[in-house]
Structures are given as C-alpha cells and as structure tokens.
Structure 1
Amino acid sequence: MRAMIIGPQGAGKGTQATRICGELGIPHISTGDLFRANIAGGTELGKLAQSYTDAGKLVPDDVTQAMVADRLAQPDTDNGFLLDGFPRNLKQAEWLSTLLAERGTPIERVLLLTAPDEVLMERMLARGRADDTEEAIQQRLDIYHAETLPLVEYYGDRVVQIDGVGEVDDVHDRIAAALDGTGPDPQPATTDAVGG
C-alpha cells in the first residue's frame, strides 16, 4: 500500500499513521522525522535545513523534496509506505507524482482526516504549547485550507475522507475499514466538507 495521510494540524494524523503502519508493516515517512533525522545525523541536507531553521526561515521545497526522495529510495519502502506531512501543496504533489511515475510506484490511496476548525482549535489549545495561541493556530489552519486542501481535487478518486472526530480507536476503525474496503462507501471528498 502506497498511501499518504493529509489533514489539518490537530486532526491526529501522526497517531493514526503510526498505528496504520504498524499493522500494514510499511514505513511511516513523516517530514518532521526526516528533518530531525537528517539534522541529528549531520547529513548535508540536514545542515542545509538547519541553516534555514536557525535563521527562522521555512526550509525550501527542494531541500524537503531531496530528503523525501532519499527516504523513498530506501529498500524498506518496496512494499509500500505512508507519507505524513508531504506533499503540503500542489507544487510538491506534482513533483512527487513525477518521481513516483519514474519508479512505477504511484500513490494508491490518500487518507483525508477531517475535523471542524473549532474542534481542532480546542484540541491544540488543550496541548498547552507556547506556540499554540489562538492566532497562531488559526494562521496554520488558514494555510492548510489555502495550500493543502487543493490536493483533494488533485488526487481525485484516490482520496478517502475520514471523520477525525471521536475516540482514537473509533477513528482508527474508520481508516481500517476504508483501506480494506469493508466500510461504507467513502464520502466523496470535497474541499467544503473539511471544516472551516
């Protein structure tokens, strides 16, 4: 299974991705983990990424893409993978499609984890992190709606929309049913049905 999970911050992507990957026996490829591993390992890409983060700047797409390409070339991805946190925008999605087409390993399924903005706001404020102010959270949600949600249209019928509200086990059961085809017919994913 070659899949990706997308959704706003606070939707529970990381938690669900870890469980799915454990059950399917495929690697969970998170861009956050890739950054940390490359920086900790002192790789050239890690040093480059660190230079941007130290300056308070966003790491450019080409650096992130190089890390993703390197990770997808590892042998443990031969039987599949789950991308988490990448692609974040259409430009990255187009790059990824080209890379995977060259290898004959296109994305098969896109899991769209959804929750209303007010639920996400409550969850993130409850974490109590210093950078989780209402203003900062709203800004991140606005960026998600503007840049990441267009991926729903880009991936079309490969997208399965999963309600991310509820207990962790319940959400996981919805994902498992969607992946093995035993759940109800998936809702057609639309950009206006994902909170806002």
Structure 2
Amino acid sequence: MRLLIIGPPGAGKGTQAAQLAAHYGIPAISTGDIFRQNIAEQTPLGVEVQHILDAGGYVSDDITNAMVRDRIAHADCEPGFLLDGYPRTRAQVTELDSMLEGLGCALDAVVQLTVDEDEVVQRLLLRAQTGGRTDDSEDTIRKRQKIYAEETAPLVDEYGHRGLLVRVDGLGEVSHVTERLVQALDARR
C-alpha cells in the first residue's frame, strides 16, 4: 500500500503515520527523518543539506525530491510506504508522480486528517508549555495553521479530483483515530 498522510500541524500525522506503517507493514517516510539520516550518514546529499541548514537556508525542492526519490527506491519500499510531509507543493506532486511512474506504481490513497483548528491550537499550546517551546504562541500557531491551509488546499483538491482522498477525523484517542483510518483505508481496497 502506497500512502500519503496530510494534515495541519498538531493533527497527529507523525503518530498516525507510525501506527499505519506498523499496521500495514510498510515504512513511514518523513522528509525530516530523511534529511537527518542523510546528514548522519554523510551522504553527498546529506552534506549539501547540512551546509544549507548551517547557513540558515531552505532546502530546495530539487534536493528534497532527490532524497525522496532515493528513499522510495529502497527495497523495503517495494511492498509500499507512507509519506509524511511530502509532497507539500504542486511541483512536488508532479515530481512524486514521475517517481512513482518510474517505479511502475501509483499512490493508493491520500489520507487527510481533519481537525478542529481551535482544538489543535489548544493541543499545540499545551505541548509548547510542557515541551518548553516558548516560541509557540497562539499567534504563531494560528499563522502556521493558515499557511498550511493555503499551501495544502491545492494538494487536497488535486488528490480529491483523482479520487484518492480519504478524509478522517483526526481528533480523539490515538487508538480510535487509528481505527478510523484503517477502516477507511481498508474500505478502499
């Protein structure tokens, strides 16, 4: 099963990605994890990313695409994978389509975790307090939510038009959300 999970900051994407990956026996692939792994292994791309990050720069789509392309070509991704945090732009959607076509496969579903913005803001504020993140004010969190909505709306529309979008309520106990996700995905199979 080849999946993509999307949702706003605080929706529980990372948690649910791990749950779904374990359930379906596929790797959960996060672009942040890919960056960290390549940096730790000092791959040519990892060295390049480290220089960019050290200079306070933004990792370009070209580098991100190359890292994702490399990762999904690994043997453990043959039965499938779950992407978390990629793609984020229409250009990345096009690139992912090309990658998958080159591998002779396609996405099976795109899971959108839907959440109430106010509840997520409260969740993130609590996480900021307990995690000591003083930079996470309500204004900052709401700004990130707005940017996410603006940047992700085109992707939701694109995958919706393709008939791949599966919307699932992302609020509630982790196990209940996971159960809803599995039911929705299994219904598509």
User: Scaled by the length of structure 1, what TM-score is found?
Assistant: 0.89
SS in 2 for 1:169: helix
What does residue 139 of structure 2 align with?
A: 135
Q: Is this contact kept in 2: 1:90–1:147, CA < 8 A?
A: no
Hey, what's the Cα distance between the residues in 2 that align with 1:149 and 1:126? 27
Secondary structure of the corresponding residue to residue 148 of structure 1 = helix
Equivalence for 2:155: 151
CA RMSD of aligned residues (A): 1.3
One-letter code aligned to 1:52:
I
Classify the secondary structure of the residue corresponding to 1:21. helix
**1:150-186 C-alpha deviation (Å, 9 max, x unpaired):** 111111211000101111111111101001119xxxx
Closer/same/farther in 2, CA of residues 92 and 164 from structure 1, 3 Å limit: same
**Paired residue secondary structure (2:49):** helix
Distance 1:57 1:142, change over 3 A: farther
Is contact 1:7-1:112 (8 Å) kept?
Answer: yes
Contact 1:27/1:80 (CA < 8 Å) preserved in 2? yes
Aligned to 2:94: 94
Partner of 1:30: 30
How far off is 1:90 after superposition? 1.0
Partner of 2:39: 39
Mapping of 1:104-143 within 5 angstroms? 104-128=104-128, 129-143=133-147
Deviations 1:33-88 (A, max 9, x none): 10111111111111111222222222111111111000011011110000000001
Measured against aligned partners, the alpha-carbon deviations of 1:62-120 in whole angstroms (never above 9, x if no partner) come to 11111100001101111000000000111111110111112221111000001122111
Contact preservation (8 Å) 1:2, 1:80: yes
Say how many residue pairs are matched: 182
Which region of structure 1 is more displaced relative to structure 2, 33-42 or 126-135? 126-135
Question: Between the two proteins, what is the percent identity of the paired residues?
Answer: 49
**Unmatched tracts of structure 2, length 5 or more:** none
Supply the distance in 2 between the matched residues of 1:42 and 1:142 (Cα, whole angstroms): 35
- Of stretches 15-24 and 139-148 in structure 1, the one that deviates more from structure 2 is 139-148
- Quick one: structure 1 residues 11 and 177, their matched pair in 2 at CA, closer, same or farther if it must change by over 3 Å? same
Q: Report whether the alignment pairs 1:54 with 2:54.
A: yes
| Alpha-carbon distance between aligned partners in 2 of 1:61 and 1:130, rounded to the nearest angstrom | 30
> 2:183 matched to which residue of 1?
177
Tell me how far apart the structure 2 counterparts of residues 54 and 121 of structure 1 sit (CA, whole Å).
30
Q: How many Å separate the matches in 1 of 2:138 and 2:54?
A: 25
The residue that corresponds to 2:74 in the other structure is 74
The whole-number CA distance in structure 2 between the counterparts of 1:29 and 1:36 is 12
Deviation at 1:134, TM superposition (A): 2.0
* Structure 1 position 2 matched with structure 2 position 6: no
Letter in 1 for 2:100: L
Match of 2:170 in 1: 164
Give the residue type in structure 2 aligned to 1:94.
Answer: T
